[in-house]
């Protein structure tokens, strides 16, 4: 599934935010309009083939790196990366345990 098609589901669950970060996969007009409709400002780097380059702040985008590293650490745990658990409650418990272990290391 492409990132831009999954964005609708993700943005429907968005509560309140002033700024929404996204990678180049989310650089579509529909996604930008949906973010702006919620009252937030999109900070998404423009694709290389985009004619009109949107406003983008690389300084604010740097904080997104910490989130990407956290997901990378969680995917080091095989149970998380392959999602062995059938129930969402068990999967969330495994994510919590993995996060605690990663915090200790």
Q: What are phi and psi of 50, to 5 degrees?
A: -80, 130
3-class DSSP string for the chain: CCHHHHHHHHHHCCCCCCEEECCHHHCCHHHHHHHHHCCCEEECCCCCCCCCCCCCCHHHHCCHHHHHHHHHHHCCCHHHHHCCCCCHHHHHHHHHHHHHHHHHC
Tell me the whole-structure pTM to 2 decimals: 0.64
pLDDT tens across 5-61, in order?
777 788 888 888 888 888 887 888 888 888 888 888 888 888 888 787 778 878 888
pLDDT tens across 49-101, in order?
878 777 887 888 887 778 788 888 888 888 888 888 888 898 899 889 998 98
List the structure tokens of 63: 């904080």
List the structure tokens of 94: 């495994």
């Amino acid at each position: 599934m492409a990132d831009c098609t999954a964005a609708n589901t993700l943005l429907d669950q968005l509560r309140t935010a002033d700024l929404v970060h996204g990678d180049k996969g989310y650089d579509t007009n529909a996604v930008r309009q949906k973010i702006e409709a919620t009252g937030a400002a999109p900070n998404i780097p423009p694709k290389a083939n985009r004619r009109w380059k949107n406003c983008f702040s690389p300084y604010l985008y740097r904080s997104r790196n910490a989130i990407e590293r956290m997901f990378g650490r969680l995917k080091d745990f095989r149970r998380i990366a392959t999602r062995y658990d059938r129930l969402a409650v068990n999967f969330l418990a495994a994510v919590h345990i993995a996060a605690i272990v990663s915090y200790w290391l």
